[in-house]
Structure 1
Amino acid sequence: MIITAAIRGAVALAALALLTGLAQASSDALVSTDWLADNLDRKDVRVIEVSVNPGKFERGHIPGAVNFRWHTDLVDTVSRDIISRDDFEALLRDAGISDDTEVVLYGDTNNWFAAWGAWIFDIYGVDNVRLLDGGREKWEAEGRELGIRPASYAQGDITVDEADDSIRAFLPEVVEVASSDEPAAQLVDIRSAAEYEGRIIAPDGVNELSVRAGHIPGAVNVGWGNAVNEDGTFKSADELRALYAEAGVDGSEPVITYCRIGERSSHTWFALSKILGYDVKNYDGSWTEYGNSVGVPVTNLAGTVWGGQ
């Protein structure tokens, strides 16, 4: 009886720790527009815009915000890779960010690339980072102030860690998961149903393409947009948990998210890891890498094989 009671106590403590951890993940992941409006003047808060569309920042932005251009500032401009540790540290210091700075990221299109930015911050061990829930669309819809003057700050002194690849998936790992009878992770394809089924390779008007259509074998399809409300804010933790559980993703196994180039999947990475506390990697190579790779298995429900034909 003593041993049984001890085991029950340990299980109860473990369950409490898990629930506490999940609650912490949810509560620390986001800030509201009200919170940001009330804290804009704090010297230890730095607001950073990471938008998809060029020119958005210049036409108006949250006062005091710094602009990070995803296609030049947050990537290696020579190799297809994320920004290096040294360059990322220099970028943050130029934005006036120090170790005690609280960072709030926001962007257009429901925070697609702001979430991608949050993923990069996480890779380099910068913890005090949250997303503005609803992004710039919600800020604008509420009629809040926008500025046009670029902000300038004294040099920060933040030190970032070496890259932590435990939240980043690479092609060999993904191929192993796709080819295994007992995969080590669950694959979540967050693209549209048409992309997932292989009816189209990519949405209209995009330049990043692959020669094959379809999805990675074993992946389930939960469109990234299902995670947000009409105003672009994230659904509640309970709603998100139910959404992904319906597709068989309940946090009991590691998860790998992917899309076309890794930006939409980072939004789902954020929902699953930061709000729900699941063990998640983002595969930023995504379909443009996987669908162009030789010798990898592909599932195509539409019957197309090459170039969408």
Structure 2
Amino acid sequence: MSRRDEVLVSTEWVAAHTGDAAYRLVEVDEDTAAYAGGHIPDAIAWHWKDDLHAAPRRDFLDQEGLSALLARSGVGPDTTVVLYGGNNNWFATYAYWLLRYQGFDRVRLMDGGRKKWELEDRELVTEVPAPAAADPGPLAPVREEYRAFRDDVLAHIGGEGATMVDVRSPAEFSGEVMAPPHLPQEQAQVPGHIPGAANVPWASAAREDGSFKSDEELTSLYGGVGVTPDTDVIAYCRIGERSSHTWFVLHEILGYDRVRNYDGSWTEYGSLVGVPVEK
């Protein structure tokens, strides 16, 4: 059952709610250069690596760290966070998945992200808000069912009623390259994909303006590789951000219950010793 109206807001809605204290608008990206050059009025910035991860480990914020981030972002007990970002909301969906995984549910995603906002020639500003610190309130228990670890992935290979979706580009899936061409190629030790995985590039779910395709189009896209409401799905990519976009489509928009994001993704799996790999 589609949950589109519960999890997405439009660019029109965001424009109409500028300055509304009930919402905290956040731009999320792998760097904040685009934000510094111009952003939606009242939006603050979260840097995907610096703000959402627990350095020096390769892991994201725990609940305590996330609560601290929300607090200094001015998120109170009744504040709803509205996320958006560049590249079809690539990193914004990762932040969304992380918030929901860590038990924070007052979150929505602006459909189309920066791309759609800019295509509509809407206002961008350079003023940076300075929200007062707040108390976001308690988080719900961690939702372990939203995340897959390496052992879950290995147990998933060939499992009955189990499907694996590799959301990387066809060149990454085939083993031709290790990462998108504009990124370093050395993150994993070997190229290829997890045996049995279907290749559905994450961007296949988006329209030209960055917004999500219709429920009917999305159901057909993933149904074509055996992903249906009753299957057990693990999505992965290179570092877990593109697969968050696919997790959002399947779990949050289409309402498929059993969908996990393998955030270790190919940088972890492609460096493990003794695991099966296909090219």
Question: TM over 0.5: same fold?
Answer: yes
Rounded Cα–Cα distance in structure 1 between residues aligned with 2:259 and 2:240: 13
Rounded Cα–Cα distance in structure 2 between residues aligned with 1:34 and 1:198: 41
- The residue number in structure 2 matching 1:150 is 128
Residues 43, 231 of structure 1: CA spacing in aligned structure 2 closer, same or farther, 3 A cutoff? same
Matches within 5 A, 1:1-309: 22-23=1-2, 25-158=3-136, 159-178=138-157, 180=158, 182-183=159-160, 185-207=162-184, 209-278=187-256, 279-300=258-279
**Displacement of 1:183:** 4.3
**Displacement of 1:184:** 5.9
The answer (yes or no) to whether the contact 2:31–2:48 under 8 Å persists in 1 is no
Residues 222, 168 of structure 1: CA spacing in aligned structure 2 closer, same or farther, 3 A cutoff? same
The answer (yes or no) to whether the contact 2:9–2:109 under 8 Å persists in 1 is yes
Counterpart code for 2:156: V
**Displacement of 1:163:** 2.6
Kindly report structure 1 stretches of 4+ aligned residues shifted beyond 4 Å: none
CA deviations over 1:245-271 (Å, ceiling 9, x no partner): 011111211211000000111000100
> Highest Rg: 1 or 2?
1
Rounded Cα–Cα distance in structure 2 between residues aligned with 1:212 and 1:134: 34
CA deviations over 1:213-258 (Å, ceiling 9, x no partner): 1110111111111100010000011110011001111121121100
The DSSP-based 3-state class of the residue aligned with 1:202 is coil
Rounded Cα–Cα distance in structure 1 between residues aligned with 2:38 and 2:122: 11
**Displacement of 1:192:** 0.8
**Displacement of 1:68:** 0.6
**Displacement of 1:126:** 1.3
Rounded Cα–Cα distance in structure 1 between residues aligned with 2:199 and 2:222: 10
Rounded Cα–Cα distance in structure 1 between residues aligned with 2:180 and 2:24: 34
What runs of 5+ residues in structure 1 fail to find an aligned partner?
1-21, 301-309
CA deviations over 1:88-143 (Å, ceiling 9, x no partner): 10110111102211111000011000000000010111112111111011111211
The answer (yes or no) to whether the contact 1:85–1:161 under 8 Å persists in 2 is no
Counterpart code for 1:211: Q
Residues 211, 183 of structure 1: CA spacing in aligned structure 2 closer, same or farther, 3 A cutoff? farther
The DSSP-based 3-state class of the residue aligned with 2:47 is coil
The answer (yes or no) to whether the contact 2:174–2:192 under 8 Å persists in 1 is yes
Query: TM-score by structure 2 length?
Result: 0.95
Counterpart code for 2:154: V
The answer (yes or no) to whether the contact 2:31–2:47 under 8 Å persists in 1 is no
Counterpart code for 1:47: L
Rounded Cα–Cα distance in structure 1 between residues aligned with 2:97 and 2:252: 10
Query: TM-score by structure 1 length?
Result: 0.86
Higher helix share: 1
The DSSP-based 3-state class of the residue aligned with 1:148 is coil
The DSSP-based 3-state class of the residue aligned with 1:72 is coil
The DSSP-based 3-state class of the residue aligned with 2:56 is coil
**Displacement of 1:54:** 3.6
The answer (yes or no) to whether the contact 1:177–1:184 under 8 Å persists in 2 is no
The answer (yes or no) to whether the contact 1:191–1:221 under 8 Å persists in 2 is yes
Rounded Cα–Cα distance in structure 1 between residues aligned with 2:58 and 2:160: 27
The DSSP-based 3-state class of the residue aligned with 1:256 is strand
Rounded Cα–Cα distance in structure 1 between residues aligned with 2:56 and 2:145: 24
